């Protein structure tokens, strides 16, 4: 039983680590003329993944509730860009827990420039699937416990209203959910996941720069309602956070956020590069890094001491500015964590791929 509890604890922590990275952060305006301070990475905190030496520092996992509304005019004076290629800006550059994300322009790009803004159309709909494939290797007590999990959520997205300032009220309803655990008897778990998620609706107001506010969670299983705080950022995956300043192809910006997921406090930095832009259609590539200080956590009744965390990822997202709930994305993440759970040392490696797949309007 103790071994099962240890495995459960590791799985819970793995979910906590993935939660922030699988979310696109809402945007808040960068503070003009305030370049980020550079600090050394915390001891025993997340370090750069050696396989991605140039990847930018991660953004925080947590609820970013930006308050930016309305569109910036193309004639607005842009703040001085932050130096391109900057590394981890240090703790002082991140917003406080629960505060809006900070979006900083690194490079304005080339050619003609204009502000990127979501321009939702009332009544627009989209069917989407989110697929999370996870390979988890847990080593504890001298034993290796590999685990593969594939989870799919089918969702219906809707633009319920568009306000005068350009903000839109959007919703996402889970219509089905499934989970596979190759090599394991996961039938019972799959049924539980479906019952927990099916029928759950997340509704929020999104401003033209992708900031989500006023999030509400309804429906779904009673347990899922209790965990609504962990799920209410799912809509953020559909909205890329845009900088305040006008940009062109080749522009780079980063979003710094700080978040608490399942009792774990994480800082995350996501860096975006605008690869293509044709009218309302575009594509960005992104890199993600996560940082967490050594800390004691209590997750769903499981006590754990995090000793170190290394987390980094890369991905791409394509978008249509008129359809904010239709983001096509694929993000790959690698995470290594060392912890003590219920008095036992455990090391965990996680390889995950998150895919968002648009499937066309709701008929």
Q: Tell me if residue 2 falls in helix, strand or coil.
A: helix
Three-state helix/strand/coil letters over 187-251:
HHHHHHHHHHHCCCEEEEEECCCCCEEEEEEECCCHHHHHCHHHHCCHHHHHCCCCCCCCECCCC
pLDDT at 39 (0 to 100): 35
pLDDT at residue number 126 = 92
Judge whether 300 lies within some domain: yes
Residue 351 in domain: yes
Q: Does the residue 287 lie in any domain? A: yes
Structural domain contains residue 188: no
- Identify whether 201 is part of a domain: no
Is residue 205, in this structure, part of any structural domain at all? no
What range defines the domain where residue 291 resides? 2-118+132-149+242-358
Residue 148 to residue 180: CA distance in whole angstroms: 8
Structural contact between residues 307 and 44, judged by C-beta atoms closer than 8 angstroms: yes
Residue 91 is predicted with a pLDDT of: 87
DSSP structure class, residue 99: S
How many structural domains compose the chain? 1
Per the domain annotation, does 53 fall within a domain? yes
Q: CA of 199: how far to CAs of 155, 222, 259, in Å?
A: 9, 11, 26
Q: Are 130 and 237 in contact (CB under 8 A)?
A: yes
For residue 21, the model assigns a pLDDT of 56
Domain annotation covers residue 111:
yes
The kind and range of the H/E element at 356 are strand 344-358
Apex 78 CA angle, 74 and 82, nearest 5? 140
Query: How confident is the chain (363 residues) per 10-residue block, as mean pLDDT?
Result: 48 56 41 35 37 38 35 36 55 83 94 94 93 92 87 94 95 91 69 83 89 80 54 55 96 90 84 96 94 85 87 94 84 94 90 93 88
Query: Residue 64 corresponds to which tokens in the numbers above?
Result: 């970013």
């Amino acid at each position: 039983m103790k071994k099962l509890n240890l495995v459960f604890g590791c799985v819970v922590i793995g979910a906590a680590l993935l939660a922030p990275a699988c979310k696109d952060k809402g945007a808040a305006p960068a503070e003009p003329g305030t370049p980020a301070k550079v600090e050394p990475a915390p001891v025993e905190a997340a370090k750069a993944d050696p396989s991605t030496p140039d990847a930018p520092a991660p953004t925080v996992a947590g609820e970013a509730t930006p308050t930016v509304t309305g569109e910036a005019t193309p004639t607005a004076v842009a703040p001085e860009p932050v130096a391109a290629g900057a590394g981890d800006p240090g703790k002082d550059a991140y917003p406080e827990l629960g505060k809006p994300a900070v979006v900083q322009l690194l490079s304005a790009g080339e050619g003609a420039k204009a502000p990127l803004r979501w321009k939702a159309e009332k009544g627009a709909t989209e069917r989407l699937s989110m697929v999370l494939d996870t390979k988890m290797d847990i080593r504890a007590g001298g034993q290796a416990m590999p685990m593969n999990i594939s989870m799919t959520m089918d969702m219906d997205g809707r633009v319920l209203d568009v306000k005068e300032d350009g903000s839109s009220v959007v919703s996402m309803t889970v219509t089905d959910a499934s989970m596979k655990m190759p090599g394991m008897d996961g039938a019972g778990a799959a049924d539980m996941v479906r019952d927990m998620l099916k029928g759950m609706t997340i509704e929020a107001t999104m401003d033209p720069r992708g900031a989500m506010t006023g999030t509400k969670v309804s429906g779904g299983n009673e347990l899922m309602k209790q965990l609504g705080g962990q799920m209410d950022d799912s809509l953020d995956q559909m909205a890329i956070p845009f900088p305040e300043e006008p940009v062109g192809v080749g522009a780079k910006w980063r979003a710094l956020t700080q978040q608490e997921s399942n009792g774990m406090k994480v800082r995350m930095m996501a860096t975006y590069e605008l690869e293509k832009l044709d009218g309302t259609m575009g594509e960005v590539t992104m890199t993600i890094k996560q940082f967490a200080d050594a800390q004691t956590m209590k997750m769903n009744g499981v006590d754990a001491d995090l000793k170190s965390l290394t987390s980094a990822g890369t991905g791409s997202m394509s978008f249509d500015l008129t359809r904010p709930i239709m983001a096509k994305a694929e993000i790959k993440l690698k995470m290594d964590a060392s912890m003590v759970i219920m008095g036992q040392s455990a090391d965990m490696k996680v390889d995950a791929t998150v895919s968002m797949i648009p499937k066309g309007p709701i008929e």
